[in-house]
Amino acid sequence: MARQRHNIGFMAIDVIARRHGFSPWRQRFKGLTAEGIIGGQRILALKPQTYMNLSGESVQPACAFFKIPPEHVTAFHDELDLAPGKLRVKKGGGAAGHNGLRSMDRMLGTPEYWRVRLGIGHPGSKERVTGHVLGDFAKADQDWLVPLLDMVADAAPLLAEGRPEEFMSRVAAQKV
């Protein structure tokens, strides 16, 4: 399960937390949390441990407890409509069929949070989507996956400082 394409967001958070010396993970808010400082900002990393389609049930109580407004939330998630290794950052928008985002929209009461869309590619036909998303990354995917996750962690201070366009450009510029 840990190497599934659907978990690329958790993979990114793990690399960010490790690279920036976050606290150990602890169980709370129906998820795992770790805290650290990136770009001079105090950051709470959260990996919901609910079913993917109930992610908002973890995100909302954490936001309420720490008084984090939705516009200061950033969700890292898999994106079928982006080629493998591509990344886009945007604020708000639709869930595009992603049930985890749909749950966050519902529980936060707004879609106006940041999304880091990590491309996993589309398998080509609608019938193959579930197997693709829930399938593990292939060994050949490591050639783009590991550098992408490293670049996301390296550029994370730009995101924390509220410079998403520069974050996106930095990651894209470092592509192998």
Which tokens go with 26? Answer: 């602890």
Calpha distance 84→120 (Å, rounded): 4
**Dist. CA 165–CA 157, nearest whole Å:** 12
C-alpha 102/C-alpha 60 separation (Å) is: 13
Q: Are the beta carbons of 4 and 126 closer than 8 angstroms? A: no
Q: How far apart are CA 120 and CA 163, in angstroms?
A: 24
Is the separation of the CB atoms in 158 and 99 below 8 Å? no
Q: Which of 6, 20, 98, 132 is catalytic?
A: 6
Give catalytic status of residue 132 as yes or no: no
Active site residues: 6
